[in-house]
Structure 1
Amino acid sequence: MDNDIVPALLESIRNDFDQRAFNSAKLKTAVQLLKNKKATYIDINDYSVEIGQILAEVLGANVTAELLPDGRMYFNIADRVINETLQKNYDLIVGYANDVQTQLNRDANIHMRAQVPDLNQDRVDGIVNRVSSEADFDKIKWLLNEPIVTFSQSIVDDVLQSNVEFQAKSGLRPKITRRVVGKACKWCSSLAGSYDYFDKPEEIYQRHERCRCTVEYDPGSGRRQDVWSKKWVDPQRETKIEARKQLNIKKKTPAPSA
């Protein structure tokens, strides 16, 4: 099959994507939050969703049955187009997530480098194989829409998992809590709860399309960080304050005379 359409198609996709990303108010807000050291995992997730939606729109506008030979997205076309575009999404999202995680570590006084997961090539290959398996592109073009957004969000989940696991292997032994948001499905409800790191469900970091579950973890120092809101909570704070008050009182009270 002739691959002549691919270079021009990729150039069109790149130009369209770059223009839309440059003009995105949501991406500009995310960048500004990072500069102000206020970005959180919520912002990383929002960033990934916006990047995914932009790419989905660009693919929808540029990849059409009329353009494709025989109205089909043959494997050699899908392989080059999807691999390059999803690689770019990965690079953008992990770049932003790495900068945010680095700042979160500094704020938490955790002296560890932020972890960057590898691109999940199996997910990419799955989309390539599925899109190229259908003779009629119009019947399968939906795979280049919402699944692209879900793929982009999955990168954030991989970043979170990599950093929590790295901290666990470094001796912090975090405790992980997953909470449902809104009207949760049966699968999400089954994952809700708090777990010691080594007893957690394997699926705790995963999400389905449009999932808004939240995850928080305790790195083992007694402080608990909600990784979606960047809010650190010390459950012993009030006890510690009261103990310090009592200690000060004892220091100020003269010892009884003999």
Structure 2
Amino acid sequence: MYEEEDIVPGLLELIESEFDERTYNSEKLKNALKLLKNKQANYKTANEFAIEIGEILSDVLNVHVTSEVLPGGKMHFNIADRVMNVTLKKNHELIASFAKDVQTELNHQAGLKLKGQKAPLNQDRIDGLVDKLSNADSFEDVKWLLDEPIINFSQSIIDSTVKENVEFHAKAGLKPKINRVARFECCEWCQRLQGIYDYKNAPDDVYKRHRRCRCNVEYDPQKGKVQDVWSKQWIDPMAETKKILRQSLNSKK
């Protein structure tokens, strides 16, 4: 009985090899890592890091995943499932780890000796992409899914990192503010969403983005220090809350 050749192992080897080479040589990624090392990285840095990772992965997928390579010119489920899960999970790990380290440094600069919270993997989003790719009769009809949706997925990891850390700090008794920064010449929807929001009053759409959206969603805990007018000493109005939070975390170790 004739068995169709499994193209996935060889395909993944080509994709991962080129992806690793391009990310290693990316000047944008090198610059982002340098900023992090020098304690100068912020969420703008993280968003640019995510876009670069997403663009590289999208380019590499488009080079190696083509109708000519796919059996019958169709992205069958067993191919889409393995290729997209392997590549997007690696994509998530790289971006989520970088964003977590950025948040950790921002916490330290604000006097919070806490590690940043890591964004969870959005498996539902990967599954949805796999279904769309594999349900089409022709790969040509859905190959656009390897373009902007890959970059958008990458940016969403930064948005999830902001959400995780804002919620974590809010539960700890802090009063986080979310800053959504619209890009120049963005759409009306993005313009309406831009602004600084208290965690409790933030609109539901603050973490959402449409296709080709390049807005930034940011969170910086700030130092939160004020000067006592009598002693002229710099004090932290949330010092007690931070102390309780540290004790709570240490007790769980």
Do these two structures clear the TM 0.5 threshold for a shared fold by scoring above it?
yes
Match of 1:58 in 2: 60
User: Aligned Cα RMSD in Å?
Assistant: 2.4
Aligned pairs for 1:119-134 within 5 A? 119-134=121-136
| Pair 1:33–1:216, CA change in 2 (3 A) | closer
- The CA deviation at 1:212 is 3.5
Kept in 1, the 8 Å contact 2:159–2:217? The answer is no
- The CA deviation at 1:215 is 4.1
Query: Which of 38, 41, 45 lines up with 1:39 in the alignment?
Result: 41
- Could you say what secondary structure the match of 2:197 adopts? strand
In 2, distance between residues paired with 1:57 and 1:148?
Answer: 10
| Pair 1:176–1:46, CA change in 2 (3 A) | closer
State the AA in 2 paired with 1:96: F
User: Does 2:129 match 1:109?
Assistant: no
| Pair 1:133–1:168, CA change in 2 (3 A) | same
- Could you say what secondary structure the match of 2:206 adopts? coil
- The CA deviation at 1:93 is 0.5
In 2, distance between residues paired with 1:81 and 1:218?
Answer: 35
Where structure 2 has 5 or more consecutive residues not aligned to the other structure, the ranges are 233-253
186-195 or 116-125, which moves further after superposition?
Answer: 186-195
- The CA deviation at 1:39 is 1.1
In 2, distance between residues paired with 1:36 and 1:125?
Answer: 38
| Pair 1:88–1:191, CA change in 2 (3 A) | same
In 1, distance between residues paired with 2:33 and 2:107?
Answer: 18
Number of residue pairs matched by the alignment: 231
User: Does 2:155 match 1:168?
Assistant: no
Match of 1:94 in 2: 96
| Pair 1:218–1:145, CA change in 2 (3 A) | closer
171-180 or 87-96, which moves further after superposition?
Answer: 171-180
- The CA deviation at 1:3 is 6.0
In 1, distance between residues paired with 2:40 and 2:194?
Answer: 27
User: Does 2:19 match 1:17?
Assistant: yes
TM-score (norm 1): 0.81
TM-score (norm 2): 0.83
- The CA deviation at 1:75 is 0.8
| Pair 1:218–1:81, CA change in 2 (3 A) | closer
Kept in 2, the 8 Å contact 1:3–1:77? The answer is no
Match of 1:197 in 2: 199
- The CA deviation at 1:245 is 10
Identical amino acids, percent of aligned pairs: 52
Kept in 1, the 8 Å contact 2:43–2:219? The answer is no
| Pair 1:195–1:37, CA change in 2 (3 A) | closer
In 1, distance between residues paired with 2:217 and 2:195?
Answer: 10
- Could you say what secondary structure the match of 1:178 adopts? strand
Where structure 1 has 5 or more consecutive residues not aligned to the other structure, the ranges are 220-224, 226-231, 247-258
| Pair 1:177–1:96, CA change in 2 (3 A) | closer
- The CA deviation at 1:139 is 1.8
In 2, distance between residues paired with 1:52 and 1:113?
Answer: 25
